[in-house]
Structure 1
Amino acid sequence: MDSKKSDNKRNVVVVGGGFAGTLVARALSSKLDASQYNLILVNDRPYGIHLIAGARMVASDLDQLDSEDKAFIPYSKLFVHGNGSFQEGRVTAIEEAGKGAGGEIVLSNGERLAYAALVLATGSSWSGPLGFPESDRDVRAHIQRWRTQIADAKDIYIVGGGSVGIELAGEIKEAYSHKKVTVVHSEGMLLNGIYPEKFRKDIERRARGQGIEFVFNDKVDTFPAPGAVGLTTRGGKQFSTADLVIPSFGSRPNTAFVSTLGSDVLAADGSVKVKPTLELQAHAGIFAAGDIVAWDEAKQAAKANAHVSVVAANVLSHLAGAPQTKQYKGSFEIIMIPLGKTDGAAYANILWGLMFGGWVTRLIKGKSLMVGTVRSDRGL
C-alpha cells in the first residue's frame, strides 16, 4: 500500500487488531468524517484472537472455539457503515515527520503507510500456549499441537499461578478430569498482592476442589524438552512422572517496534509511557491503548474499554487542532477466573471489596467466555 492516498484524505491508523485495537477502530469509524479521513486497522493476521477464550481453546476442542464464528474475530463488520479498511501486516518501525505532523509506519515487507494520527494497541506477547503465531496456518497448528500434548500427557505441571495459569488448569480438568494437574507458583498464594488474601485463598480452595494441586514459593528455570519425563524446580523438588510442563507466566508488551521512536518512549518493562490523555510523551498525535500502556494497573481486557473512550476522543481533538480534554484516571481492579464451566471466583475492589463465587463467574464468563459479547461489540 502506498504511503500517500490519491484521494488526498489523511490516514488515521490503528496498529493492533486485538481487544483494545478493534474497539478503538470501531469507535473512530462511527465518528470520523469519511470525506476527510481514511481509517485503517493494521494487524499481523487476518483476524483477532479472543484471548479470554485462549485457555479453553488450547486445552481441548470443547466448544470448537478455533473458528471465525467463535474465538477468531474477523474484521468484516468492524467498521460502522463500512467507514474503514483492514491492512494485514506487521509494523517494524514508526517514522515521524515532525512534532504533531504525522509520519509513516513501516511494515515488515517494506511498505509504508502514512498517518495523521496513530493509535498503538498491540497487546502482550506470551510464551507457551497463548503465544499465538502470526499466520493462520501456524495459529491452527499451534492450537492442535498443544491440544495433542495435553491429551497425551498424564502428569501436567503449569508454571505460573496467575489468572492464565489457573484458568488453564481448570480447562484441562474440565476436559480431562482424570489427569493430574499441578500449578507451580513463585509466591505463597495464587495471583499477586493486587488482590486480597481472602480472594487468593478462595480461588485456591475452589481449584483444589477440582483436584488441582499446587507447589508454592518455587520456580522452574529449565523446561524439559518435548517428550522428556521429569521436572526439577529451582528449590530442588523433583517430580519424576511430570510428562508435560507448560509455561504460563511472563507476558510482555508487544512494543519492540515502538522503540524506533527513541529510547525514552518505553518503560523498563516495555510498556509505553503516556500522558493522562493516553498520548505518548513528546510524540504528539500518537496514542496507546490496552495492555501496552504504562499505567499502574493490572493488564486486563476490561481496562481497554476505559482506554478506548479517552483515546477516541483525543484522536478527534488532535485532528481538529483542539485541546485534548479527555483524561484517563485509572480503573478499579476486577478479575474473574473461571475453573472450566462449573466453578470459579471473581473480585472487584469497589465499596469494601466484593467477592463472587462460582454461580456469578460461570454465568458471566465461564459458560461462554464472553464470545458472543465480544463478537457483538465488533459488529458480528
Structure 2
Amino acid sequence: MPTLSHLLLIGKVISVIFSVSYTRLRLALRSLTHRLTYHPSSPSSSSEPLNIVIIGASFAGYHAARCLANSVPSGHRVVVVERNSHFQFTWVFPRFCVIRGGGHERKAFVPYGPYLGGGLERGSCVWVRGSVEKIEEEKNDNQDDDDGKDEEKGGCLVLRSGEKIKYEYLVVATGSAAELPSRVGKEDKADGIRLFRDMQDRIEAAKDVVVLGGGPAGVELAADAKALYPGKNVTLLHSRTRLMNGSFGPKMHEVAVKELEKLGVDLVLGERAQLPAADTETLSEVVLDSGKRIPCDCLIKCIGQKPNSSLIAELSPSSITESGHIKVLPTLQIADEAHRNIYAIGDVADTGSIKNGRAAIEQAQFVAENIVRAIKGKKPLEYHPQWFEGFTELTLGLDKSVMYFNDGSAEIILPHRSKDVALRSDQCWRLFGVKPFEDPSDLEAAKA
C-alpha cells in the first residue's frame, strides 16, 4: 500500500511532466517568433554581431546553444566552440563497452547541427570545431570613476589553431574528463569507436574482470559483463560500504546489490585497491588495503572524473573549488565580480546539483534566459537544483533496468524490462533532430 509521501511524489512526477511539456511548447513558440524577427546585425547598426560564445557542446552546452540560437536579440549571435566531431551520448557508454557486433558503438556518436533549430542557417548561431587554449581578458581603457577598476568589456578566446574569437558573454560547459566507460576522451568518432572495440575485446578475452568504482557506470558495466558472459568472474570493488552513494537513497543500493548478486557479480565493499602508478593492463591480481588479493586480467576503472576547469583556473584562480569545479552564483555566473559576463554550467560547475544530463539541460535553460536578460538590462533569474533532476534509469543487466525517483522524503523504484540492447539510442538521435542512425560523415568516409 503506497504511503502518503509516495502518493505526493507521484503527484510531483505528473506535475513535472506537464511542466516539461509546457516548457517545450513555450520554446517552440519563441523559436517561431525569433525566426520571423531576428537579424544578425542590429537594426541600428551594420557592424558585426556581438558574440555569445559557448565552450563545449555536450548536454549543457548544446542545449544552451539551442535555447540562445532561438531567442538571442538581433545584433548578437551564438558561437559554439566544440572540439569533438559528434555529440557523445555518455549514458550508453557502459553498455557499448561490453556488447559486441551490430555496430552499436556507432550509435553513441550523434551528428551535430539539426538540434539548433535552423540557427546555423539564419545566422543566429555559428559552429566552430576547435579546442580553446586560453581565455584572454579585454579591458576598457577608461577607468571607472568610482573605484578605479577597469570595466569588464568581454574578452577573447585563443584556439589551438591560433584563431581568436571575441566574446561579449561566455558560457563554459566543458564537462569532465575520465576514461571509458564514463568518457571516451577522443575527439573523432573513428578513434572513439576503436576505443569501444578495444574494451569489448579486453572483456571478451578476460577470465577475471574487476570493475573499480560502484557508481552508476561501474554498476551497469559489471552487470552487463556478467549477464553477457556468465562464465567469467566479475568483481565490483567499491571503496564505500554503499553502492550508488551521493545523490541516491539507500533503496537504490539495496536494489543494485540484490540484482548484482542475482547475476553472480562478486561485491567487495568498503575496500580500497593498491594500484600501481604505471600501466594496469598487465595486472594479474588486485591487492586491497586489507591484504586480500583478487585475480584480475582485466581491470576497468570507473572512478576519477575530473572537471575540465583549467581555462577558468588560469583566468580566475579564486573561482575554483578544492574539487576543481567552478564556483558559481545562483545566477550561474562565475563567483568573480571581475567576470560577471562569464557563466558555467554542467559537470564543470559547482551548482550543488547532481551531475547528469537532466540537470545540465535545466542549467542550460537558465543561463540562456539570463544572458538574454542581461542583454536587455533585466534582473537575472536564480537557479536552484530541483529534485526531479535526480531522476535516473539504471541498467542492471542486458534486459533489465530500474527507474528511480527521490524527492528527499520518499523513494520510488520502478523495474523495467527491455530487449533493446542499444538502450533507446534512436530516441536520442531523434531528440537531436537526426534520423537514426544515418550519419553523413560515414558516407563521406566511405567515398574517400
One fold, TM greater than 0.5? Answer: yes
- Tell me how far 1:178 sits from its aligned partner: 2.5
- Tell me how far 1:100 sits from its aligned partner: 4.2
Distance 1:149 1:351, change over 3 A: closer
The correspondence for 1:313, drawn from 338, 344, 369, is 369
The correspondence for 1:79, drawn from 105, 116, 136, is 116
Does structure 1 retain, via aligned residues, the 8 Å contact 2:69–2:77?
A: no
The correspondence for 2:259, drawn from 202, 206, 231, is 206
Map 1:207-246 onto structure 2 (within 5 A).
207-223=260-276, 225-239=280-294, 241-246=295-300
- Tell me how far 1:230 sits from its aligned partner: 1.7
The correspondence for 1:129, drawn from 178, 181, 184, is 181
2:307 corresponding residue in structure 1? 253
Q: Report the Cα distance in structure 2 between the residues aligned to 1:289 and 1:372, rounded to whole angstroms.
A: 26
Q: Does 1:347 align with 2:384?
A: no
Map 1:239-318 onto structure 2 (within 5 A).
239=294, 241-281=295-335, 282=337, 283-318=339-374
Q: Report the Cα distance in structure 1 between the residues aligned to 2:47 and 2:427, rounded to whole angstroms.
A: 36
Indicate the RMSD between aligned Cα atoms, in angstroms: 2.2
Q: Report the Cα distance in structure 1 between the residues aligned to 2:427 and 2:153, rounded to whole angstroms.
A: 37
Q: Deviations over 1:86-108 (max 9, x none)?
A: 21111122122245421111112
1:89 corresponding residue in structure 2? 130
Distance 1:97 1:377, change over 3 A: farther
Does structure 1 retain, via aligned residues, the 8 Å contact 2:63–2:365?
A: no
Q: Does 1:371 align with 2:425?
A: yes
Please give the secondary structure, in 2, of the residue aligned with 1:157: strand
| Paired amino acid for 2:362 | A
Q: Report the Cα distance in structure 1 between the residues aligned to 2:66 and 2:268, rounded to whole angstroms.
A: 44
Please give the secondary structure, in 2, of the residue aligned with 1:45: coil
Q: Does 1:335 align with 2:372?
A: no
The correspondence for 1:13, drawn from 39, 53, 67, is 53
- Tell me how far 1:250 sits from its aligned partner: 1.8
Distance 1:7 1:373, change over 3 A: farther
Q: Percent identity?
A: 26
Unaligned runs of 5+ in 2: 1-45, 140-150, 435-448
| Higher RCO (CA-CA < 8 Å; seq separation 6+) | 1
Q: Which range is displaced more, 263-272 or 124-133?
A: 124-133
- Tell me how far 1:74 sits from its aligned partner: 1.4
- Tell me how far 1:366 sits from its aligned partner: 7.4
| Paired amino acid for 1:293 | A
Please give the secondary structure, in 1, of the residue aligned with 2:226: helix
| Between structures 1 and 2, the one with greater helix share | 2
Distance 1:43 1:221, change over 3 A: farther
Distance 1:335 1:198, change over 3 A: same
Q: Report the Cα distance in structure 1 between the residues aligned to 2:161 and 2:324, rounded to whole angstroms.
A: 24
| Paired amino acid for 1:129 | P
Map 1:156-175 onto structure 2 (within 5 A).
156-175=209-228
Does structure 2 retain, via aligned residues, the 8 Å contact 1:50–1:71?
A: yes
Q: Does 1:25 align with 2:61?
A: no
Q: Deviations over 1:114-166 (max 9, x none)?
A: 11111111111113433423331432322222111111111100010111100
- Tell me how far 1:337 sits from its aligned partner: 1.1
Unaligned runs of 5+ in 1: 1-5
Q: Deviations over 1:41-67 (max 9, x none)?
A: 111111121000111122233663332
Q: Report the Cα distance in structure 2 between the residues aligned to 1:86 and 1:272, rounded to whole angstroms.
A: 25
Distance 1:76 1:334, change over 3 A: closer
The correspondence for 1:50, drawn from 89, 96, 110, is 89
| Paired amino acid for 1:341 | L
1:3 corresponding residue in structure 2? none
Q: Report the Cα distance in structure 1 between the residues aligned to 2:264 and 2:285, rounded to whole angstroms.
A: 21
| Paired amino acid for 1:313 | E
Greater Cα radius of gyration, structure 1 or 2: 2
Distance 1:176 1:86, change over 3 A: farther
Q: Deviations over 1:334-369 (max 9, x none)?
A: 33211233223332222742322322xx46x97653
Normalised to the residue count of structure 1, the TM-score between the two structures is 0.89
Distance 1:187 1:229, change over 3 A: same
Q: Report the Cα distance in structure 2 between the residues aligned to 1:319 and 1:102, rounded to whole angstroms.
A: 13
Distance 1:131 1:352, change over 3 A: closer
2:15 corresponding residue in structure 1? none
Please give the secondary structure, in 1, of the residue aligned with 2:127: strand
Q: Report the Cα distance in structure 2 between the residues aligned to 1:193 and 1:265, rounded to whole angstroms.
A: 24
- Tell me how far 1:201 sits from its aligned partner: 1.3
